[in-house]
Amino acid sequence: MAEKLAQTFGYECISRDILVEASEQFNIPEIKLVRAIHDAPSVFGRFTYGKERYIAYIRAALLAHVQKDNVVYHGLAGHFFLQGVPHVLKVRIIADMEDRVSEEMKRENISAEKARHILKKDDEERRKWSLHLYGHDTQDASLYDLVLHIQTMTVDDAVKVVLNAVQLLCYQTTPESQMILD
């Protein structure tokens, strides 16, 4: 969906490449950045200074793109990194667990049981991560401008909804909203 949106608008589409860029720019192994943005805090409670620094590097790499405007970012934590930027439309796409299980089974060639276990574990890791770092559950709808449940909606339908939303005046870049990013 993100690629289709970017293509329709002629926007840059970014995701995992942010991790690669941050890794190269700050000379940090990519795996450390992946762990920092994905893994929940340990039982000992706190993120290390290193993990917080790695998250700041990822945020800096994302902001470098967003400052140029006209970007579609699909990946973890973008809605946290871009909080308070009024012209950025923050969208959450949700699907039923069974649909997600089916997709995971196809993508990873695994059983339904294993796929369900992985998805539940990933969901819980993301929830713990966001609660610890930002004090919000990732499922909190107030973090997003738009939440789409795609059970019956096609990708094309979802793209149309987002395209309509992004054209609203409140999501247009203004000098004031751009200053927040600069």
Q: Where is 14: in which H helix or E strand?
A: strand 12-14
Q: Which range has the worst mean pLDDT, 9-18, 49-58, 100-109, 111-120? A: 49-58
The domain locations on the chain are 2-181
Give the chain's end-to-end CA distance (angstroms, integer). Answer: 28
Give the pLDDT confidence score for residue 39 in this predicted structure. 79
- Give residue 132's pLDDT band: very low, low, confident or very high (50, 70, 90): confident
DSSP bridge partners of 147 = 92
Q: Supply the mean pLDDT for the chain.
A: 91
Alpha-carbon gap, residue 97 to 102, rounded angstroms: 9
Query: In whole angstroms, how large is the CA radius of gyration of the chain?
Result: 17
For the cut 90, the answer to whether the pLDDT of residue 50 exceeds it is: no
Q: Of all residues in the chain, what percent carry a pLDDT higher than 70? A: 95
For the 2-181 domain, the top CATH level (class) is alpha beta
Tens digit of pLDDT for each residue in 91-123? 999 999 999 999 999 999 999 999 999 999 999
Give the pLDDT confidence score for residue 122 in this predicted structure. 92
CA-based nearest residue to 88, from 111, 72, 100: 72
The mean pLDDT of 125-146, rounded to a whole number, is 91
The mean pLDDT of 169-180, rounded to a whole number, is 94
**Three-state DSSP state, 174:** coil
The mean pLDDT of 12-41, rounded to a whole number, is 91
CA angle 159, 104, 157 (to 5 degrees): 15
